[in-house]
Amino acid sequence: MAVTFAATPRTHSAAPAKRGPRGRALRRHLTGWAFAGPATVIVIGLSIFPAVWAFFISRAKWNGIAPATMVGWGNYQKLLQDPDMIAATRHTLILTAIFVPGSIILGILIAVALNQKIRLIGFYRTCIFVPYVASAAATGILAGFVFNPQFGVVNDVLRHLGLPQGQFLESQHSAIYFICLIALWGEVGFTTVIYLAALQDIPRELVEAAVVDGASKWRVFVHVTLPELRPVTVFAAVWQTITAMQLFDLIYTTTKGGPLNSTQTIVYYIYELAFQTQRLGYGAAAAYLLFIVTLVLSLIVILYSRRRGSEVF
C-alpha cells in the first residue's frame, strides 16, 4: 500500500530584527558602565560620602567615642578667633607665596635649559624628575639628615669652609623657609616636565619668524615663548597652590610643626586637632575652611587667567 505524504511548506522562524543606532549606543553605554561602575562606586564611597559626613561632624562637638553634641556653626566661629589657627594660616600663606612662584620660575628656567641639544640630556632630565618621584616622606627624612645642626652635611661643609653654621630646621625664624626650599627641591621636577612638554609644542615657525625679524634670544623668550606657555602656567599655578595648601607629610617627617609651632600649617593643625586631641568636629570644621580657601584661591587664578586670554580649564 503506497503511502503518500503531503508536501507541507517549511516554516522558518522570523529573523531577529537588526539593532538600530539607539540599541547599539545603549549596549556600548551599558558595557562601559559595567567596567567603570565598580570603580565609580568605590570613588564615591571613599570621597564624596566621607566629605558629606565630615560636614555634619564639623557642626558637632565629638571626640569619636561619646555621643556627638550639635553646636551648629560654633566650631567655625571659634576657628576665626583661634590664635593657633591664625598662626597656621599665616605659615601656610608664607609657604604658598614662596613655593608657587618659585616652582613655576624654576620650572620654566630648567625646562628651557633642558630643551637645548646638549650631551647626556636624557640623564639630566632624569635627575631633575627623580626627586618628584620620591615620596615626600622620604624627602623629609633625607632633609632631616642634611640640615641637622650637629652632624648634617650642610653644616659640615660650612665648617670646612670656615663659614658660620646654622640651625636650619631647628630655628624658629628660618625653619619655614627651609621647608619651602625642601618642597621646591621635591616638586620642581613636576613643573619642569610639563613646561618641557609645552616648549616642544611651540610652533617653530613663530620662533624662526621672530629670529628673522631680528629679535634676540631674550626677546624671543619674552614675546614668543612666555605667551605660548601661559595656559600651562595657569595650570601649574592652580596645581602648585593646592599642593602647598595641603602640604603635610614633609612637615611631619622634618619638624612636626616645630620649633614652637613655627612650621605648623593648616593641614598639620587639622591632624593635631583630629588625631592627637580627639577634637574631631573642630578638626573637620578647620578642614572645610581649608577647602573653601583653596577653592577661592584657585578660582581667582582661573578667572584672572581668563581675563588675560589664557583659558586652560
Across the range 112-125, mean pLDDT stands at: 86
Q: Of the candidates 306, 249, 282, which has an alpha carbon nearest to the alpha carbon of residue 84?
A: 282
Q: Give the three-state DSSP class for 218.
A: helix
pLDDT at 48: 84
CA 234 to mean position of chain CA atoms: 13
Who has greater pLDDT, 23 or 296?
A: 296
pLDDT at 2: 47
Cα angle at 252 between 247 and 256, to 5 degrees?
Answer: 115
pLDDT at 83: 93
pLDDT at 302: 81
Q: Is the peptide bond before 83 cis (omega within 30 degrees of 0)?
A: no
Q: Give the orientation angle of helix 230-245 with respect to helix 175-200, to 10 degrees.
A: 150
Query: Is it the case that residue 67 has pLDDT exceeding 90?
Result: no
Q: Which three cell numbers stand for residue 23?
A: 540599541
In sequence order, what DSSP letters do the residues of 135-153 get, joined into one string? -HHHHHHHHHHHT-TTT-H
| Alpha-carbon torsion (87, 88, 91, 93), positive or negative | negative
φ and ψ of 246, to 5 deg: -105, 15
Across the range 222-249, mean pLDDT stands at: 89
| Structure confidence by residue, pLDDT tens digits, 35-54 | 888 888 888 888 888 888 88
Who has greater pLDDT, 270 or 26?
A: 270
| Structure confidence by residue, pLDDT tens digits, 87-97 | 999 999 999 99
Confidence class of residue 3 from pLDDT cuts 50, 70 and 90? very low
